[in-house]
Every structure is written in structure tokens, then in C-alpha cells.
């Protein structure tokens, strides 16, 4: 055991970059985190037990399906005597958490630190989750709405909140986000055990729920702020005050510096966009369409075949020429997805990141994406991260604590060999994304997946006389989402096409002729008309409750968003 510990690979946590980024422009944003002031005290844990004389007798019996045998009226129970006891359990010392945050030598989160975070999350959510008119589901807190949104029949959509304590770079933070859930009315009814309908949403209901739960970024932050003030009420929370856990709600959400990367601008319409051209179009020489529908008329499928050919050509594949003809919108969307798959299978490139955005300071790089739900691993086969291969295995053991990918090492080696065949080399840097891991399962994944994987990579590369690759292991979590808001005038300028006001308004002024009311020969009338139009435009925007188009001055010219874009409501 001692020799294994000495030879174990050294794991380091990711650090902040030493130098600020140079690609793009710096903007200021805010995120859905709030700062915490905490003195990391020592508290005492107690267990509360309730028992009676009949408890041991009841434990000797196993009752099956009691709820289906009879209905019990509320509060109809015989009087019984119970014994309540409060027992000291343990000391809970938060000083290790303080040391972890303040220590410049970064370490991995261990089970002790995760337990301390779990205790803080109990304090953070207990009072809000025990209030009247509050529903709870999982770790979400849902205020009962006055007017619930109905999805289908008696199924309602309810909006709630989720908050948790997170570790920042130099302090504790509280993350608050919105969440949604589906609920229905509860009733008592005797039914046959074989006739119970499972409470599972059908696919169309799930889709409808997602559509009705979508909110814009500004609305999201307004709801979060309202939830903090009306639901959580941190300032009056007795539990938080008892441990001196103070959340900074006076200064609002934390402010951050973000980098707006210099990239291709994409103008969207109603939040939708489509890949107009593939990055690299493949050659499609011979192809056919197989129709499995019974006895379908040939003329019925010709429009679909014709439109598929047109979409392939429009996206860059080399095909015979076709005429553009718009058919059913839904069919066009389906065929666009088919075109993505066809181009990918023919070794084409559908899209890729701009140059230098993935700079690992190496000539070769690789990404491996984990799919633990199916015990599979997908790995990129090129430096553009667009061509993927997949390997999967069936786990032999059934485990309830964590879904360990048992044969992870074998699948990774196979992907590396496939990469070597296509690229004639092995990557010297690997980024591994692991999904489906809870916070209490970090230690298990590190000991049973990450550390054996490092040993396997070292041995494989050593057999080829190559240095061990650098592995970055990233665990993806479902909760604690980091959302961002921004100054609309600050951000929209990087997305919206701008034109000088003088150019667009000058044409309008000239329409009046030399003797026109808009200023005649002189330019003064044009300038007055310009200011008047700008005021009218702002008044119209205010009346319509729409934000004004962002304006800014560059090289002495006032620029405004091009009128062909509706406005910046999409960014809000």
C-alpha cells in the first residue's frame, strides 16, 4: 500500500490564468452569485430521536401495500405515548473549509469539505423550505402560485428557486437560480394495484413544459432577485444568523469581467439560427432514398427528395444542381438535420471554432466526452473537435452509489489508437468531460476512474517512447448553474450591425428639396431633424415598453443599430 501511494500520480486543481486573455474585448457582466461573510465557527451537532413501546414490535412486521388496503382519515389515530430524546452527536468545525479557501496551494475537495458544505446548505435552505405556502421537490423551493400555468388538463407548471453554497476562488458564495416542476392535484382513491398510472410525463408534455418554462436572461435575474427578497429573506433567517452566515444582498449579484471573443457575428431571428454553410463540404457521388412506408405513391416522396438535394447543395456539399423551393417548414428542419449527418459521415466538417480559440500551447489537442449513462466514451479525432468516434461497454456490476465506467481505460486506449490512425500521432493534451457525478461521489470517481486512467495513459505512451500527455479532468454538474446578465448597450454592440446616423438621416433630409421644410440648403435643419427623430424614436420605444437601440460614438460619429434588426429584446 505504501509503494502504491508513493507512485500515485499527483493531482492538481485547475488554477486561474496568470495573464489576462488578449483575444476579444473586455466587458462587465454580473452573475447569479452573492458574496458571503462567514467566520467559520465551531458548531455542535445533536440527534433528535422519538420512540415508543410499540416501535420494536412494529419493526418485526413487514407491511405490504398498506395504502391500497384502506383509506385513513386525517388525524384518526389512537393516543400513544412517545419518548423524545436529544443527544449530542459531534462537533462540526468549519476551520478546514477556511483553510482550503485561503490556502494558495490548491487541493482537491475531499469528503470532509463536502460534508461541511452540506451542513451549510441545510442552514441555508431549512427556514425557507418549512414556511407556509411553500412546496418542495428535491432541493427546489416552490412558492404556491396564485395563477398556476396549466400544461395539460390537471397538470400545472410551477416556478421555484434553487440555492446552494459554493466555494469561490477566495471566499464562499451563494448561487441562486430558478427552476420549474410539474405537479397535479392529490386525491385519495381505492384502485387496483395493476391499474395505477405512473406519474411520468409523456414526450409531448415534456416539450410543452420546456417551452412554457423558458425565460429571458433579464427576466431570470429579476425573478431570482424577487425570490431572494420574498422567499429566502436571508436577513431575517434565524438559522443563518445563529452561525453568523451573512449574505451580501446590499450589493446585489457579483460583478465580473468577461471577454467578448472576436468571432463571426450571427444575426438571429426570434432566438433561432441555422448553419447556412458547412465548414467543409464533402463529395456525395451516389445516393438513394429508402422509403419504409407501405404502398406510398412515388409522387408523394419526390418533393422531399428534391428538397433534401437542395439543402445539401445549399450547405456546401457537391451535388447536382437543384432549384430552391420552400416546402413545409418542419420538413426543411428535418432535412437540415439529415444534411448534418450526411456531411459528417462523409468526412465533411459541419462547423468548427475560430482559429486560436482552443490554444493548449501544443500542436495536437484532443477532447474526450464522457457518457456515463450508457457507459460510453466519445473522443474527437481531429484538431477542430468536429469528427468523433465512440466506444461503449456494458458494466458488469450494479452499483447504487455512483455509475462508475468500469472499462474506461480500454475504451480510452481504443480511441487513442483510432486517433493515431487518422492523425498519425497521439494527442499530447487531453480534456476529459465526466458527467453524472454528484458532489459526494468525487472521491470514488477519482480513485476508481481518474487515477487508473492516468496510469494507463502513462504506460501506453511510454510503450511508444512518448511523454505522458497532460490530462484535464472536468466534472460536469447539473445544478449550481452560473447565469450571466449584462448592460444591453455594452453587449449588443458586439452582435448588432451599426450604421452612422448621419448617413441614414441625410438621405431623409435631402428628400425635402432646397425649399423643403426639413432644412432647405443648410445642414442645420438636418441636424435639428436628426435630434427630433432621435427624440421621437425614444418616445415611441418608451411607449411600447421597448428598450432604445444602443448608440455609441466612434471616430466622432454617433452610431445606431441597423433598422433591419427588430431591437435588442432578444438579448434581454
Q: Which CATH number do you get for residue 441?
A: 3.30.420.10
Would residue 553 count as lying in a domain? yes
pLDDT in tens, 145-155: 887 777 666 67
pTM of the complete model: 0.61
Rounded CA separation 118/443 (Å) = 16
Q: How many CA atoms lie within 13 A of 134 on its CB side?
A: 18
Distances in whole angstroms, Cα of residue 464 to Cα of each of 100, 380, 385, 419, 423: 39, 21, 24, 14, 16
Residue 461 lies in a domain: yes
Q: What's the mean per-residue pLDDT of the chain? A: 71
Q: What is the DSSP string of 111-151?
A: HHHHHHHHHHHHHHHHHHHTSTTEEEETTEEEEPPSSPEEE
Q: Are residues 323 and 464 in the same domain?
A: no
Q: For residue 158, which of 227, 252, 249, 218 has the smallest C-alpha distance?
A: 227
Does residue 274 or residue 430 have the better pLDDT? 430
Which residues form the domain of 180?
33-38+109-188+198-258
Among the candidates 350, 374, 403, a domain finishes at 350
Looking at per-residue pLDDT, the higher value among 18 and 467 belongs to 467
At residue 295, does pLDDT exceed 60? Answer: yes
Same domain, 521 and 393: no
DSSP 170: S
C-alpha separations of 427 from 340, 380, 381, 424, 454 in Å: 26, 10, 10, 10, 14
How confident is the model over 447-471, as a mean pLDDT?
92
> Residues 207, 164: one domain?
yes
- Residue 565, domain member (yes or no): yes
Burial 40-57 (b: 16+ CB within 10 A, else e): beeeeeeeeeeeeeeeee
- Predicted pLDDT at 514: 40
> Quick one: 513 and 543 in the same domain?
yes
- Sheet with 25-31, edge to edge strand ranges: 254-260, 25-31, 484-486
Quick one: 545 and 412 in the same domain? Answer: no
- What's the pLDDT score for residue 454? 92
Mean pLDDT over residues 173-180, rounded? 92
d(CA 331, CA 567): 30
Which residue is associated with the grid cell 389512537?
Answer: 78
SS3 30: strand
Residues 6+ apart with CB under 8 A from 297: none
**Pick from 26, 20, 24, 22: nearest CA to 487:** 26
Q: How many Cβ atoms are within 10 Å of 238's Cβ, its own excluded?
A: 9
Of 405, 393, 416, which Cα lies nearest the Cα of 449? 405
Q: How many CB atoms are located within 10 Å of the residue 357 CB?
A: 12
Residues in the chain: 572
What is the number of domains present in the chain? 4
Residues 466 and 496 in one domain: no
pLDDT tens, position by position, 221-230 = 999 999 999 9
Are both 458 and 547 inside the same structural domain? no
387 and 435 part of one domain: yes
Same domain, yes or no, for 132 and 236? yes
Amino acid at each position: 500500500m505504501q509503494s502504491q501511494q508513493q507512485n500515485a500520480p499527483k493531482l492538481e486543481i485547475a488554477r486561474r490564468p496568470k495573464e489576462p486573455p488578449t483575444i476579444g474585448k473586455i466587458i462587465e457582466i454580473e452573475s447569479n452569485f452573492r458574496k458571503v461573510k462567514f467566520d467559520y465557527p465551531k458548531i455542535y451537532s445533536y440527534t433528535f430521536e422519538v420512540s415508543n413501546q410499540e416501535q420494536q414490535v412494529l419493526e418485526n412486521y413487514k407491511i405490504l401495500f398498506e395504502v391500497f388496503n384502506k383509506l385513513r382519515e386525517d388525524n384518526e389515530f389512537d393516543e400513544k405515548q412517545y419518548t423524545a430524546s436529544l443527544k449530542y452527536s459531534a462537533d462540526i468545525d468549519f476551520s478546514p473549509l477556511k483553510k482550503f479557501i485561503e490556502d494558495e496551494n490548491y487541493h482537491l475537495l475531499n469528503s470532509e469539505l463536502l460534508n461541511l458544505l452540506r451542513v451549510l446548505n441545510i442552514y441555508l435552505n431549512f427556514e425557507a423550505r418549512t414556511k407556509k405556502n411553500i412546496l418542495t421537490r428535491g432541493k427546489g423551493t416552490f412558492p404556491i402560485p396564485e395563477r398556476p400555468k396549466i400544461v395539460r388538463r390537471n397538470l400545472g407548471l410551477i416556478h421555484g428557486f434553487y440555492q446552494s453554497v459554493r466555494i469561490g476562488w477566495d471566499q464562499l458564495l451563494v448561487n441562486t437560480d430558478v427552476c420549474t416542476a410539474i405537479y397535479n392535484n392529490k386525491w385519495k382513491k381505492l384502485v387496483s394495484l395493476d391499474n395505477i398510472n405512473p406519474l411520468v410525463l409523456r414526450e409531448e408534455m415534456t416539450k410543452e413544459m420546456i417551452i412554457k418554462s423558458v425565460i429571458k436572461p433579464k427576466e431570470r435575474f429579476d425573478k431570482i432577485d424577487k425570490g431572494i427578497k420574498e422567499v429566502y429573506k436571508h436577513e431575517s433567517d434565524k438559522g443563518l444568523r445563529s452561525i453568523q452566515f451573512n449574505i451580501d444582498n446590499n450589493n446585489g449579484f457579483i460583478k465580473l469581467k468577461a471577454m467578448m471573443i472576436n468571432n463571426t457575428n450571427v444575426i438571429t431571428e426570434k432566438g433561432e439560427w441555422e448553419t447556412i454553410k458547412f465548414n467543409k463540404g464533402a463529395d456525395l457521388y451516389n445516393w438513394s432514398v429508402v422509403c419504409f412506408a407501405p404502398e406510398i405513391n412515388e409522387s408523394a416522396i419526390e418533393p422531399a427528395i428534391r428538397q433534401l438535394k437542395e439543402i445539401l447543395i445549399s450547405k456546401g456539399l457537391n451535388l447536382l444542381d437543384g432549384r430552391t423551393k420552400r416546402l413545409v417548414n418542419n420538413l426543411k428542419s428535418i432535412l437540415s438535420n439529415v444534411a448534418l449527418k450526411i456531411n459528417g459521415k462523409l468526412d465533411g466538417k459541419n462547423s468548427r471554432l475560430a482559429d486560436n480559440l482552443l490554444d493548449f500551447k501544443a500542436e495536437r489537442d484532443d477532447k474526450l466526452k464522457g457518457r456515463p449513462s450508457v457507459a460510453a466514451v466519445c473522443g474527437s479525432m481531429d484538431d477542430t473537435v468536429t469528427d468523433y468516434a465512440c466506444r461503449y461497454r456494458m458494466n458488469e456490476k450494479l452499483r447504487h452509489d455512483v455509475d462508475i465506467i468500469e472499462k474506461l481505460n480500454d475504451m480510452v486506449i481504443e480511441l487513442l489508437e483510432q486517433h493515431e490512425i487518422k492523425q498519425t500521432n497521439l494527442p499530447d493534451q487531453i480534456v476529459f468531460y465526466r458527467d453524472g457525478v454528484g458532489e459526494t461521489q468525487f472521491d470514488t470517481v477519482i480513485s476508481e476512474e481518474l487515477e487508473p486512467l492516468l496510469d494507463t495513459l502513462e504506460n501506453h505512451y511510454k510503450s511508444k517512447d512518448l511523454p505522458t500527455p497532460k490530462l484535464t479532468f472536468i466534472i460536469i454538474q447539473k445544478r449550481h448553474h452560473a447565469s450571466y446578465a449584462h448592460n444591453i448597450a455594452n453587449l449588443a454592440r458586439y452582435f448588432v450591425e451599426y450604421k452612422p446616423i448621419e448617413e441614414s438621416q441625410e438621405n431623409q433630409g435631402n428628400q425635402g428639396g432646397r425649399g423643403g421644410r426639413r432644412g432647405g440648403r443648410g445642414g442645420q435643419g438636418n441636424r435639428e431633424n436628426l435630434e427630433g427623430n432621435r427624440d421621437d424614436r425614444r418616445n415611441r420605444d418608451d411607449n411600447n415598453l421597448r428598450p432604445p437601440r444602443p448608440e455609441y460614438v466612434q471616430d466622432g460619429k454617433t452610431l445606431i443599430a441597423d433598422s433591419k434588426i427588430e431591437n435588442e429584446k432578444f438579448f434581454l
